[in-house]
Structure 1
Amino acid sequence: MVDDIALSVRDLKTYLYTNNRCNKAINGVSFNVLKGKTLCIVGESGCGKSITALSIMQLLPDLSRIEDGGITYFSEKGPMRLDQLPRKGVEIRKIRGAEIAMIFQDPMTALNPVFTVGYQIAESLRQHSVLNDKEIKLKVIDLLHTMGIPMPEVRMNEFPHQFSGGMRQRVMIAIAMSCNPKVLIADEPTTALDVTTQAQIFTLMDKLKQEHKTAIMLITHDMGVVAELADNVAVMYMGNIVEAGTVEDVLRRPKHPYTRALLASIPILGRGRQQNIKAIRGSTPDSYDRPKGCSFAPRCDYATQACDEMPDEIYISATHSVRCSQLEAIS
């Protein structure tokens, strides 16, 4: 089993500090990303999905730090503790882009406006490959063509502002895929893309997974994408993973009230306007003033006084775990 793990996160705690206040954005998260498999992390906005990804990449804001836990990347040279590497050090820079790549959510802020898109794709290849300039240019053209960008020989010399939002997102994906990374972290990779292009991008990611045994960590809000692509699923709420398991475990046999509420809030194609879509009552608590114990308790229909303490992780099966003290009442 250890040989199948590409990336392991154990009891990760990442805190953000602003105005003499502490936001425990990630408060004890554990999961494994397996080689040749896709782990989908789902949850409402602000639950900590993106901060988890930035912690792995060591791209956290200055007023933040990893307080506890560990992030281990299993490279060909052996295990490496990413959380112990300096954020701007040589070692982490060798890993970023080459072995662990990330597709960022907002391409307009991720891309540099003063460099052409071709230059920015080539930058990763210059840093991490032994290709010469001619080979790099051909590779850039091929990547842009693969992403469905017309006239790649011309458009590689254009700047990000000359591209639409969807085209910029494709450029970001091309940068991430340029070096065939061992681990690909995709933070809402198809947000600005139409449905047809989404399918093409996910096909490319699946091809990367199949041909290179790439481990993919996909952050998404779309349960349809989860059902289609995921091998394993982790459901996050307020900095904790409240339920995790295979896609069959989580989508077909959900146990945590939050997972059930998420699934109940999704409209089902074909049922028309008469279907009963149940919104999750209440709102997400203030991240600087969290409830004691289970953070979902104020919005949960099953909450009792026992929820005033953070419940332990309970394994329902070898692959399915839930963090809830009311499983008997729910079942």
Structure 2
Amino acid sequence: MDQKDILVQVKDLEVYFYNNQRCNKAVRGVSFDICRKRTLGVVGESGCGKSVTASAIMRLLPQLARIEKGSITYNSEENGPIRVDRLEANGRIMRSLRGQEMAMIFQDPMTALNPVYSIGFQIGENLQYHTAMNKKERREKSVDLLRSMGIPAPEQRVREYPHQFSGGMRQRSMIAMAMACDPQLLIADEPTTALDVTIQAQIFELIEKLKETRETAIMLITHDMGVVTELADDVIVMYMGNIVERGTVEEVLRTPAHPYTQALLESIPILGKGKNQVLEPIKGSTPDPFNRPPGCQFAPRCDYCHERCSSMPEEVSLGGTHGVRCWKSGGKPV
């Protein structure tokens, strides 16, 4: 990948949560790139660090969380490389980036949208802060955004409130709000949660359209491998704060190398195989983050567990962009 195509570069990121005199190392040494006109799929079970990583990029971590190590570099077209991790979370520079150059679609639109303000006001608020538009222009832009998201009667809907919208329309309104200022980076945190398949397909089409027409770089967070297959170009698989496998969609999904990735794929029903197909759930449960096993975090649940797994393996290359952290992989050191 050409260096100029990399929009966001995350290197050796570590995020810790401090609570009741205990430290939860939620993200541990994570490195990846988000490239223009490509979708990076971030997959893994709940609690693996997906949303924390996204919040760190947007500098929206809660007060109890801290970026302990590593770097987050945003390559702005106007201002060059910006070390986001060194910016004040609510400082002038970060506020100018957030909403204008980088935007986020949150997991639950009912809690992300303010119930006491109209949809048009909430979209226009972003435009008011980042553009020189007057009130009439902001209203027209809000209507155009809702129309482009496939919301019927946008002139009427722009005056309505979140409780008057269906789940799918709220989610599309969130996308409209995120895309109001044509950001270079869009982070979508499980954008199709609790939506029916018809609305999911519409949102998939919208995200693909944004990537192609506006050259947006997309970070798609999900635990649904079907969504990854549909939308992603590159994939990283996270478990207990670590990246255990990475590569293109074809590399990771066609030839999964880590036992965790294999287990995720085996637990998904395959269309056309009928009701008699055998689904293999991942045995056990994720460890207590305050009482982690030594070495490989997946070892207690892994069928291939060995003495070597008491120490964490380094990432090895399996060819191309395919990398994995597993003792059984037999790859070459990165």
TM-score normalised to the size of structure 2?
0.96
Q: Which amino acid aligns with 1:321?
A: G
Aligned-pair CA distance for 1:328: 4.2
Equivalent residue number for residue 253 of structure 1: 255
Equivalent residue number for residue 23 of structure 1: 24
Aligned-pair CA distance for 1:165: 2.6
The answer to whether 1:174 aligns with 2:197 is no
- Work out the CA distance in 1 between the residues paired with 2:173 and 2:23: 35
Q: Which amino acid aligns with 2:249?
A: V
Indicate the larger mover: 184-193 or 128-137. 128-137
Flag structure 2 segments of 5+ consecutive residues without an equivalent. Answer: none
Aligned-pair CA distance for 1:226: 1.0
The answer to whether 1:69 aligns with 2:93 is no
Query: What are the equivalent positions in structure 2 for 1:306-325 lying under 5 Å apart?
Result: 306-325=308-327
- Work out the CA distance in 1 between the residues paired with 2:230 and 2:162: 31
Equivalent residue number for residue 210 of structure 1: 212
Which SS does the other structure have where 2:275 is aligned?
helix
The answer to whether 1:106 aligns with 2:104 is no
Equivalent residue number for residue 39 of structure 2: 38
Which SS does the other structure have where 1:51 is aligned?
helix
Q: Which amino acid aligns with 1:178?
A: A
- Work out the CA distance in 2 between the residues paired with 1:212 and 1:183: 10
Query: What are the equivalent positions in structure 2 for 1:1-331 lying under 5 Å apart?
Result: 1-76=2-77, 77-328=79-330
Indicate the larger mover: 139-148 or 93-102. 139-148
Which SS does the other structure have where 1:272 is aligned?
coil
Q: Is the 8 A contact 1:180 1:208 kept in 2?
A: no
Which SS does the other structure have where 2:313 is aligned?
coil
Which SS does the other structure have where 1:270 is aligned?
coil
Q: Which amino acid aligns with 1:208?
A: L
Aligned-pair CA distance for 1:223: 1.2
Instruction: Provide Cα deviations, 1:158-197, integer angstroms capped at 9, x if missing partner.
Output: 2222323322222111111111110100001111322222
Q: Which amino acid aligns with 2:19?
A: T
- Work out the CA distance in 2 between the residues paired with 1:328 and 1:181: 41
Aligned-pair CA distance for 1:212: 1.9
Distance 1:78 1:328, change over 3 A: closer
- Work out the CA distance in 1 between the residues paired with 2:178 and 2:290: 33
Q: Is the 8 A contact 1:169 1:192 kept in 2?
A: no
Indicate the larger mover: 162-171 or 48-57. 162-171
Which SS does the other structure have where 1:327 is aligned?
coil
Q: Which amino acid aligns with 1:146?
A: S
TM-score normalised to the size of structure 1?
0.97
Q: Is the 8 A contact 1:72 1:80 kept in 2?
A: yes
Aligned-pair CA distance for 1:130: 2.5
- Work out the CA distance in 1 between the residues paired with 2:192 and 2:267: 21
Q: Which amino acid aligns with 2:188?
A: A
Instruction: Provide Cα deviations, 1:112-140, integer angstroms capped at 9, x if missing partner.
Output: 22211110011111111232222211111
Aligned-pair CA distance for 1:81: 0.5
Q: Is the 8 A contact 1:117 1:156 kept in 2?
A: yes
- Work out the CA distance in 1 between the residues paired with 2:149 and 2:320: 39
Q: Which amino acid aligns with 1:249?
A: E
- Work out the CA distance in 2 between the residues paired with 1:151 and 1:104: 24
- Work out the CA distance in 2 between the residues paired with 1:25 and 1:164: 34
Which SS does the other structure have where 2:89 is aligned?
coil
Indicate the larger mover: 252-261 or 167-176. 167-176
Q: Is the 8 A contact 1:13 1:29 kept in 2?
A: yes
Which SS does the other structure have where 1:186 is aligned?
strand
Q: RMSD of the TM alignment (CA)?
A: 1.3
Aligned-pair CA distance for 1:20: 1.1
Indicate the larger mover: 20-29 or 159-168. 159-168
Indicate the larger mover: 54-63 or 194-203. 194-203
